[in-house]
Chains A and B, each alone.
Chain A
Amino acid sequence: MITFAQAFTAFFAALVVTKSYADLKRGRENIVMFLFWVCSWAVIVFVAMYPAVVDLIFIKLSGGTNNNIATALAMGLTFVFFIIYRLYIKADRVEKTLHKLVSELAIKEQEEE
């Protein structure tokens, strides 16, 4: 029986991989990056389908107890949000710099004509 969360994850993974494939076809993304996303999302879908795997890994890592699983997951989530935030800020800065460059170049070209 597939839960809503599992179906949601699978749908989201399919969406990302499809987008990545489209980018690959258009030449916006290279094959290494495409494979990276496919593997990453395959792992995420696998974990969503078989969540018991996470328990097993953490029990192994914590030497037989599973007390630290919730803490580790919360920390992981916080880290992911931090990465997203940093990426967004960087992308925003690049976009603004690009706008300034392209805009000034357009004006300069017109002046030179």
Chain B
Amino acid sequence: MLYTIHMKLAIVLPAYNEEKILRSVLESLPKKLIGINNIYTVVTDDGSKDKTFAVAKKYATIALRHKINLGTGSATITGIRYAMRKLKPDIIITMDSDGQHDPKNVSALIKPIVNKKCDVVIGSRMLDSKGMPLIKIFTNKFANFITFIFSGIWASDTQTGFRAYNRKALQKIKLRTTGYEYCTEVFAELRRNGLKFIEVPVKVIYSDYSKAKGQSIANSINVLIKLINRNLTKL
């Protein structure tokens, strides 16, 4: 076993109007993990209109609040930024707060990083897409193709928010977008910085609640335009 001890893990969860489910999501997160000494949960309330922030304050280690709604990407970046500055973790996991990501997969996500096999782990919903709605499968495959065009990397699930990063990766990755397109931008940064990533299969819990959330197809067009803009303004 190559496990090292004294590692710190921060789990970053962007949340928007999740008062109904946030508590159960936070309580279901693992309290102990092999190779990890401290586990912190960082919730960024992205300008919710309900009591998401109050729930986050009660059940998360750290609760951050966006004054206005700016989108998942923006809330995730705020959470990561805070964790990197104040908690100084060795590993950061990002995951959705709508309950669609199975907390049992957290250990599978950090294992390759703890074992120093890679810098980033992508929790792929597509490696076992049983139960996934057809429209989601189609949208994900289209997004994978777009990601391939912009980053040159082919991955099975480029739009998942369930990911793990080591400290080195987070110091090198420089994100210039703030919306959903950050999912694709991360892949471009992996290539630019020569960071190693692997994909592990994760289970997705499709409840009526989680199905109602997520990215719409109309938003994909907006994402595409923003990615074109990112690449144009980079020149």
Contact = CB atoms under 8 A, between A and B. Distances in A.
A97 to B, nearest CB: 10
B229 A109 contact: no
Interface of B: 44, 62-68, 70, 74, 77-78, 81-82, 85-86, 176, 178, 225-226, 229, 233
A110 B44 CA distance: 11
Interface centre among B63, B65, B78, by most chain A C-beta atoms within 10 angstroms, is B78
A110 B85 CA distance: 12
A93 to B, nearest CB: 9
B85 A107 contact: yes
Contact of B77 (A89, A103, A109): A103
Given A92-B226, A102-B68, A107 B178 contact: no
B81 A107 contact: yes
A102 B74 contact: yes
A106 B229 contact: no
Interface in A27-69: none
A99 B86 CA distance: 20
Interface of A: 88-89, 92, 95-96, 98-99, 102-103, 105-107, 109-111
Nearest to B86: A111
24 contacts: A88-B229, A89-B229, A89-B233, A92-B226, A92-B233, A95-B70, A96-B178, A102-B66, A102-B68, A102-B70, A102-B78, A103-B78, A103-B81, A105-B67, A106-B64, A106-B67, A106-B78, A107-B81, A107-B82, A109-B65, A110-B62, A110-B64, A110-B82, A111-B86
Contacts of B78: 102-103, 106-107
Contacts of B74: 99, 102-103
Contacts of A92: 226, 229, 233
A99 B178 contact: yes
B68 A107 contact: no
Contacts of B178: 95-96, 99
B63 A110 contact: yes
Given A106-B65, A110-B64, 17 more contacts: A89-B233, A92-B233, A96-B176, A96-B178, A102-B66, A102-B74, A103-B78, A106-B44, A106-B66, A106-B67, A106-B78, A106-B82, A107-B64, A107-B78, A110-B62, A110-B63, A111-B86
